[in-house]
Structure formats: structure tokens, C-alpha cells
Structure 1
């Protein structure tokens, strides 16, 4: 009898040169004990050099992952391939080529366009499509709003956040800090009966609190804001001169003729704004006033007309280039409209949160047409300048999110936001910064108190790396430098957990069971955690939250005997 064997270390191919490709390569080569071949244009690039320095990682330099590059990467030996470039069209082409060279190989493809990605996945076997920005956006938005967020688990309305953010008793704690010896060591999925832990993140099925409605606004607030923003000082000078002429003319006419002041005002206004109407029978003082008023109006009226036309034109362009055209408060300012910024913008709009977007250039960045299509005011300018942030009305905003791809620029945006005075009655501004390096983020957190630096690639990479190993990851829950995975794991016939009790799924510090799906009942879901003694069947699907190690262990415990093949040295 021939016994199936497998290599001691699985083989992976990663295509991409960026922070996500680096982090996924690191996770596959360390956490998942694999040999990784990375195809990228140059090993001397910023992230290429970092990737090349990793153990068990080999670099193949190629302008694009074509047939020759994939063969040099030994595609025939690969257990899985991850396509992590930011180019959707290029990823489609590479995915088709990979499927041609090795049909049925496990494929994980990065896509920004959800509909396109789903369409491609439907036509390629064993393919998962993920969006790094879509994975990272919900936790970033939750940080900015200071709220719990929904987990992406179909059929179950789960919230995850700090215990005080959950409107109901939490099921259990996801992450805590152990300060027993004066240190704050991170403890993931701690046991329920440890009183020494400072519990920081929990999961709950309670519904979120309703969004507060908009505060009272003064009548004509939009008109007054338009006047203040678009009428320059010369318009005010012209209006002042015009008002002075009308007041003086009205006074002189009412004093020199036996006529009520209302009639005098009526005559002067018409003569000023509609032109002269000679009256040879009137007194000389009245005729002199008419001449002066007419001469002054000839000079003032064209100036005033030109200024008003200029103000209207600038107001039409305000929404596209200069920010909101009316007062805003309680909104979020998103700086940087690349992939992550665009997805953050979409997430905020889905939540019904008012947004103002800021981008350095009107250069066709992905998020600018999206923002304008959805009526989001866009400020074109450098977000590190206080006047640009003032144009975005950051003084009355609830949060600013620095989402550019430049770490230094994001720090500068946070510092500039601090320099803008807060409007009276507004709470402290929340600041979320996108940073690549987690160690750097911790230092920035100490440098800028109250800021929340996060790495979008660090939030997304665990889901990508786990998806390379299997198509069951639903969502991620970050806490400091650690990440938990929410996954749906099917149980196969004759697996280790078959006929065991539900409580045996839990492993302290590694796995907690959320729910069980039962396909024989039309995929009904136990919304509340199943009773500890409930028996498990081979066709059940386990909804769990786990560390990466815990998820791998659970996959092994739910696999059928044909998949449990011992490694050979």
C-alpha cells in the first residue's frame, strides 16, 4: 500500500511588492511554517528589501508575474498562490495564468472592486477574493467613532468592542491586559474566571445604541455661512457705501421736503438702484441729492454686481475644491483618498456619518470621483496645513482619519489637527493615523496622546494569510499588535470532534466557539452559544473566534482522516 506523504514545509508563491505582501510573506514563513517565493519588480525597493531579509523567503525579480517568472518561482510545487498587487486588472491576468499553469491550486486574490472580484472567484476553482481596505476599514472607523463594531458573520448580529460600548452583557472577553507584575502583557481569549485581568475587548449580541440625531441648527445657517465664506471685504465696502448713500439721501430728502421718511426712502432706493428720474420741479437740494446718488450708484452698482457674480461662481466650485458649503458639526474628516481612504469613506457613509474628504491633489485618486458622486465635500490641499483642515471644518468635527500611504504625512496631519482650536461645546477630537510599522505606531501613541495609530496592512494580513491556508476566515478583530480571526470551519466525517460536546471546541487562549450552523436544518444558526453539552455532528459548521495558532489546530481537529496525513522528514 502506498502511503501519501507531504513536504515538511508547505510551499507558497506571493506576487506583490508592498506592505501587505511583506506581512503575508512573514506570516506564511513564520506562523504557518512555509517556504515562500515572492515575485516582485525589485528586491531593492523599500518593502522588497524587508521581504528579502525574511527567513525561508526567496525573491524572484520580474517586472510582472508572467509565465517565466511563475516557473522560476516553481509554481508546479506551490500549495497556494497569493496575488497581492493593488492592480485589479493585473491580478485578473495573473490569476488566469496561474490557473492555466496549475489548475485548481489554492488562489487568494486581492481586489478593490467587490463585484469584479466575486465574478472572478465564481469562475476560478478554489479561489478566494479579499479586499485589504475592506477588511481594515471597519476597525479603523470604529476607532474614529469610539464605538463597537459589527462582525462580518452572516446570520448573527455580533458586536465587538470595549465592555462599556456594548449595550448588554458580553458573552466573553476577547482580549485583556495582565498587570499582575506591573506589566501590561496582552492576553487573548482569557479564561472567564481570572479576576486579575483588565478586560479590554468583549463580544456581545446586543444591538448598538441608536445614532444621536443632528443637533439644533440656527435658521438660515447655510445662507449665513455662504455669505461669510464667499463675500470678500470689497463686497462689504461696496455694500457699506451703498447703505450710507441711501441713508444720507433719505435723511436729506425727508428734511427738505414735506414728505414722510418712508416715501423718501422709497424714492432714493429706486433712484439709486434703478437709475435717475429727473424732476425739474423739485427743490434744488433734492435735485443735488439725486445727482450725487446717481453718480455714486454708477460706480458702486457694477462693483457690487461683479463681486456677487464672483461669489456665486466660487460657491459652485466650493463642493468640488474648497470643502463644505454650509456649517457642519459631528462629522469625520478623512485625509487621503487612496484605497484605504475610499473604503473608510464608504463605511462612514453606510453608517450615515457626515464626512468631509481631503486630498493633496485633484489627480484622479480613486476616492475623489466616489466622494463627488455621493455628495461628499472635498477639500483639495495638503492636510498637514492648518488652513486646509479649517476649510474641512475640523474645529467642529468628531474625528480626523489620516489615511495617506505616507507615515510622516499622517503624523503631520495629526499634529496640524491639534493646532486648530475646537469650537465651544465640541468634545475632544479623536485622531486615527494609518502607520505601517507597529513599533513606530507604539512610539507615536506615546508622542501624541489621544491618537490611535494603526497599520491597515497589519489589520488585513492575518485574514489574507489565513485564507491562503483555507477559505473560512470571515473577519478579524485587532487588539494592539495581536489579531483574532473569526472563521467558519466545517466538520468532516470521522473528524476528531465528531460526537464530542460543544465545550470541547474551546481552548483557553486559542479558540472560543460562537455558534454552530446545522446544514440539515437549512443552515439555521444557534445565535446564542450552544449549550456546553450539545453534541457535534460531522456536517456542522463551527463559527469560532481564534488566534492563528488556534484556527490551525481547529482545522486539524475538524478535518477528515484523509486530510490527516503525517509529515515526513
Structure 2
């Protein structure tokens, strides 16, 4: 595919930016590379020191991980030898070691003059402390914080933005380019991970008030345009039908996926599937966790089936005896029922001297009362046992099949479990740690859960993987995920498998091998950091990122931009603004600038209850984009970086 350049397109390098990334895991490394390679920014990465990681302590897995991160960053610096005339993009990142993210450390990192700061430590408290200190040192700093608790993140963002506004009362709000963005890597990756495990489930981006669905379509025929949705987002890899083919790559070869192609390219493609934007709809507010389950235990869970049949049989017998008493005596129906109950509980006087029918009925009723006592005792014992085990984890039902086996209930696994439960998909979880983050959610949702190591014999069999529809291996260890996937494939060769793997080269090799060995089974390898890093980088550049959709091993971003200052968009029609392979405008905000919701990622109920959605998705190709417009566009990582560069050039010329 040939990229078409728009006329009068600015191609100058952007103004240098100083970005600071503080983290202790792979996300910090990915984010630093994203900022340096795509946005040509000067990056400072602050990581825990290696000597702290080497201390012999129990449970220091996070510190050992930080040491590995520091070693990789130092190796990258040693390999990169910039020339005296190198641009800022060619300079390796500056790496700092710091045990604490206090004001002294942030000052040494240059937070007073920095444009943005990303706090991506795996510990929420560490990120919050550093964010408060950074806001005091530089009120104009753009903050991007990684937090798992979404409600806490909303309150923290409001607090920090308010503190920035009060600290700079004399500055123009347009000049004060400051904001606080709270993101979660688990929320970013969960829709894609859940979608890869379920047949027919769309790739989904959910940002409270906005729901985007991207669906894979069958390969189109020659001369036809596969535009069944609002637009075509991508052409899948040409090696899709090749068992030994790689699942795409970040390279731009002919065999890789083509992101944001034009209609002519889609129509000329044969044997290649497409990814189309199929549904755009507002999403309702998330339900509280307690509303995801029933308010009480159902009768079927409280009493066993045999006990229910016994109680029903005794009730029928008592009803028959009451009718017989009414028929053989001249009593009122209510009186006959009352006499029958007295005989049932052995409270009535013996029927001496009364007719034989009355005496026989009394004996039969007494016998029914004797049978009722053990049944009532069994009901009480079963009810007590049910209530005692109501808070315990459920075991997989005996006849369960067609479910998804989810390995790992950490941060990512918990979000994926919640998403699968919302979709109504049966899930069986496997977790080694009984105190894992997702165990309370699994207990509250009554999801069957197996406590044990997936590498132990019999654990996957207990999860009934031989009857499962898909396997999601989301533990934090690549080798554990791979071992579980290989064993599951040996039990069920056609099982759908989705692996969480960190290293791209390792993931590609695993994908190709599994696909060659099992060509009829779906295999996917996903990296949480690969999905999350573009969203964090876009937020650091001041762009509102709604989410990311994986297309094989590449990522397509959905961002919100103001048209003003972007020369490739301002004053151009929708058709002219489309850059194949880079970006495409998919929606325009029709509301007036003063009435717009400030955050499209927030639900309308939280942001502005009275403001209806103002996004127009069915765009006319001849509509001219005005400087006051705000648009939602789909862009590649390079395309979004190029748009930001054009905005920097416009500001520089002014």
C-alpha cells in the first residue's frame, strides 16, 4: 500500500519535550521506548536501584523484576551511541536509580522543567505519594498516573487539577496546559483479552460513556468493498491462512496487517480478512459489584433436589388426607384441614369412639407426621451447611462444558473475569494464591474456582479443560502460561488459547509453533504492556486516549483531538483529512465548545447529566473541519505522533 501525502503537510521535527517515567516493571520500559521512538521526546526513566533488588528478602519478586528492568535499560544505553548531530529522538533515555520517589528524587529528575510525568509503579500508594509531591513542585506539569482503583483515581484527578489551578491563578487556562489522567493497564487490556477467548465476540473499547466494537470479517472478494460497518479499520495479515505465518508484526512488510486502508486497497485485496468498526453506542453506567449477584440464595442452592421432592411428596399426602377428612365428615374445609394438622403433629386427642374412617385417617396422618420429622431435620442441616459454605469458592459443576478456563486472578485476570461475567460467558478460574486480588470477586459472582498451581497434575482436569471452549492464560509468568497452554492442547487439540506473554520475539515464536502444530485451533499471544503503553504515551502528550484495539500484533488507537492547531485536519474535508495507514476521523462532536463534556471517557451521568451525547458518527465526506471542532479519530502510533508534531510546528510558527 502506498501512503498518499496531503498537500502543504508539515514535515518539520517537533519541538523537544522532556518526559519523565517512574516505574518498576515492563510498562515503564515500553512507555519510555514509545515516547522516545514515536514522539521524539527526551525521556528520563526513574527505576528502583539494583542493589535494593538484590537484598535477600522473602517475597521480593517485584524488586527482582525492577532489577531486570534496570539491566535492560542500561544495556540499551550502552548499545545506543548517539552522534554529535543526533536529534533528540536518537538519544538514549536517561536512567536514574532511586529507592524513594520523594521531592529530592523528582527534583533531580527535572520535574520542575518537565512537560509530563508518568507514574507507573505497580503500587498505587507509591504513585499517589509521588503525584502529590510532583504537583507541589510543578503546578503546570501534566500527570499520568497508573491506578487500579478507578473510583480513587477519579477523586485524585479532581484534587490534583484543582491544586494546579489554585497554584497558578494568574495564568490563562489555555496557557496552563496541565491535566491529570488516571489510567489502568488492566482496564485497557481486559476487553481485548476477553474478546480473543470467545468466538464471535468483538474487540471492544469501553470508556464508560463510549463503546466501540471492532469485528473481524471474512476475506472480501475481488472488486468488493468490505465496509459493512462505519469504516474499515484494518486488513488482516496475508499469512492468516498460513499455519507457519507470524501473527503480524510491527514491520510494514506486505505480509503484515494494513491499518486504516482506503476503500480501493480493501476492494483489491483477496484472501485477507478485515476489521471493521461495527457498532458505536453509549454504554450505561457500571453496576455496583453487589448488584452483579442475586440478593439471596436460590431455593435450588439451599435444598438438594432429593429433599425438595421429599417435601413435595409429604405436602401432597397431607393435602390428600385433609380432603379425605373433609369428605368423610361434615366439617368445614378449614376445620378439616385444622384437624389434619393436629393429627399430623400428634396434638389432637385419640379418635376413640368415632367412626372407623376417622380413626384410619388419624393413624395415616400420624404416620405422615413421623415421616415429616427426619425430612425437616435434613432440611435444617442442609440449610445450615449451605449458609456455612455460601462464602466458600464453588467447584465446577459435574456437567459443565463450553466454558472459558481463566488462569490467574491478578489485576488483569480480575478485570477479564468481570468482563466475561458481564457477557454471560461461563468461566472456571484457576489461581494458586488464595489471597489473590480476584478471589473475592469470584466468590461474590459464584464463579467456580480451583485453588492450585496450574503446573500440578490434575489441576486443569479439575477445571474441566477437556470440555472447555477456550483457555486464557493470564498469569504473570510466561513459562507458566506456555506450559499450561501446551498441556491443555495435548488434552484438547482444537482448544482456543490466548497467552499473556511479555517478550514480542518469544510470543511470535510461540504463536507460529502452536499454529503450525494445531492449524485448526485459534492461538493468540497478547502483551498487557503493549496494549497499555500507547494509551499512557498519548495521555502524556496531552491527548485523550479512549482505548486501543489490537490488530494481530499491532495496535490501533482511538483518540480525541481538538482540530485547532492541527494542519492536517483544520480547514480540510473529512475525505481530505483521511491519511491511509496513519489516521482517520470517525466522529465529530456537534455540541458547542462551551457545552461539551470535558471528558468523553466519563459516563454522561457523572460528567454532565443534562448534556446529551453530541457525537456524529455518520459523517459526510465533504464536511469541512473547523478549528472549533473536536473529533474522534482512529490512528496508528506513528500517525498520532505525526499529528502531534504538526501541532508543535503550528505553535512554533505563531
TM-score by length of 2: 0.64
Once residues 139 and 183 of structure 2 are traced to their aligned partners in structure 1, the CA distance between those partners, rounded to angstroms, is 20
**Residue 549 (structure 1) aligns with:** 638
Indicate yes or no: 2:174 matched with 1:174.
no
> What SS class does the counterpart of residue 264 from structure 2 fall into?
coil
Tell whether the 8 Å contact from 1:106 to 1:468 is kept in structure 2 after alignment: yes
Partner Cα separation in structure 1 for residue 48 and residue 535 of structure 2: 25
Q: Is 1:205 equivalent to 2:279 in the alignment?
A: yes
Unmatched runs of 5 consecutive residues or more in structure 2? 1-12, 51-65, 78-91, 162-178, 221-225, 240-251, 282-298, 307-380, 516-521, 597-612
Aligned pair 1:27/2:34, yes or no?
yes
Query: Which residue number in structure 1 is paired with residue 72 of structure 2?
Result: 50
Preserved contact between residue 470 and residue 497 of structure 2 (Cα < 8 Å): yes
Deviates further, 490-499 or 85-94: 490-499
Equivalence for 1:478 = 550
Question: Which segment is superposed worse, 132-141 or 41-50?
Answer: 41-50
**Distance (Å, rounded) in 2 between the aligned partners of 1:493 and 1:38:** 30
Aligned pair partner of 2:592 in 520, 528, 531:
520
Structure 1 position 183, deviation (Å): 5.5
Counterpart pick for 2:206 among 152, 159, 162: 152
Picking from 447, 460, 466, the partner of 1:376 is 447
Which position in structure 2 is the counterpart of 1:327?
Answer: 399
- Aligned match of 2:186: 133
Matches of 2:617 and 2:15, distance apart in 1: 40
1:124 counterpart residue number: 160
Against the structure 1 CA distance between its residues 389 and 24, is the aligned structure 2 distance closer, same or farther, given a 3 Å change threshold?
Answer: same
Per the TM alignment, residue 49 of structure 1 is displaced from its structure 2 partner at its CA by 1.5
SS, match of residue 548 in structure 2? strand
What is the aligned counterpart of 2:25 among 18, 23, 27? Answer: 18
8 Å Cα contact 1:133-1:456 kept in structure 2 = yes
Secondary structure of the equivalent of 2:484? helix
Contact 1:515 1:525 in 2 (8 A): no
Deviations 1:477-498 (A, max 9, x none): 1123321110111123796644
Larger CA deviation: 139-148 vs 67-76: 67-76
Residue pairs, 1:20-419, within 5 angstroms: 20-43=27-50, 45-55=67-77, 56-125=92-161, 126-146=179-199, 147-152=201-206, 157-164=211-218, 169-177=228-236, 179=238, 184-194=255-265, 195-196=268-269, 198-205=272-279, 320=392, 323-362=395-434, 364-419=435-490
What is the alpha-carbon distance in structure 1 between the residues aligned to residue 482 and residue 148 of structure 2?
26
The structural deviation recorded for 1:539 is 1.9
CA distance in 1, matches of 2:102, 2:455: 40
Partner of 2:87: none
Which residue matches 1:437?
Answer: 503
Cα 1:341–1:165, aligned 2, differ >3 Å: closer, same or farther? Answer: farther
Q: Contact conserved, 1:431 with 1:451, CA < 8 A, in 2?
A: yes
Secondary structure of the residue aligned to 1:75 is coil
Other structure's SS at 1:445 match: helix
For the Cα contact (< 8 Å) 1:435–1:454, is it kept in 2? yes
Does structure 1 conserve the Cα–Cα contact (< 8 Å) formed by 2:586 and 2:617?
yes
Deviation of 1:382 after TM superposition, in Å, equals 1.0
Helix, strand or coil: the match of 2:487?
helix
**Residues 1:453 and 2:507 aligned together:** no
Cα distance between partner residues in 1 of 2:478 and 2:280: 36
Question: Is contact 2:404–2:469 with CA below 8 Å preserved after alignment?
Answer: yes
**In the TM superposition, what are the counterparts of 1:550-569 in structure 2 within 5 Å?**
550-555=639-644, 563-564=651-652
- Tell me how far 1:508 sits from its aligned partner: 1.1
CA contact (8 A) 1:319 1:378 kept: no
Give the superposition deviation at 1:31: 1.2
CA contact (8 A) 2:568 2:643 kept: no
Query: Structure 1 residues 33-42 or 136-145, which shifts more?
Result: 33-42
Structure 1 residue 149, shift from structure 2 partner: 2.7
State how far apart, in whole Å, the 1-side matches of 2:108 and 2:219 are.
51
Q: How does 1:501-512 map to 2 (within 5 A)?
A: 501-512=573-584
Shift in alpha-carbon separation, 1:46–1:410, aligned structure 2, 3 A: same
Offset of 1:135 from its aligned partner?
A: 0.2
- How many Å separate the matches in 2 of 1:494 and 1:26? 25
Q: Which one of the candidate residues 534, 542, 549 is aligned to 2:623?
A: 534
Distance apart, 1:329 and its partner CA: 2.4
- CA-to-partner distance for each residue in 1:53-112, whole Å, 9 max, x for gaps? 335212211112112211221212211100001111211111001101111201000011
Give the CA RMSD over aligned residues.
3.7
Conserved? CA contact 1:489–1:558, under 8 Å: no
Structure 1 unpaired stretches of 5+: 1-5, 208-219, 228-308, 423-427
Secondary structure at the counterpart of residue 475 of structure 2: coil
Instruction: String of CA shifts for 1:15-66, please: whole Å, max 9, x gaps.
Output: 1111111100111111111221111112571122122333521221111211
Shift of the 155–404 alpha-carbon distance from structure 1 to 2, 3 Å rule, reads closer
For 2:533 and 2:591, locate their aligned partners in 1 and report how far apart those are by CA, in whole Å: 30
Q: Deviations over 1:406-450 (max 9, x none)?
A: 00000011122223359xxxxx42111100011111111122233
The worse-fitting range, judged by mean Cα deviation, of 534-543 and 79-88 is 534-543
Q: Give the Cα separation in 2 of the matches to 1:124 and 1:530.
A: 37
Instruction: Report how far residue 320 of structure 1 moved.
Output: 3.6
Deviation digits for residues 267-302 of structure 1 (CA, Å, limit 9, x no counterpart) = xxxxxxxxxxxxxxxxxxxxxxxxxxxxxxxxxxxx
Distance 1:31 1:133 in 2: 23
Number of residue pairs matched by the alignment: 465
Q: Secondary structure at the match of 2:21?
A: strand
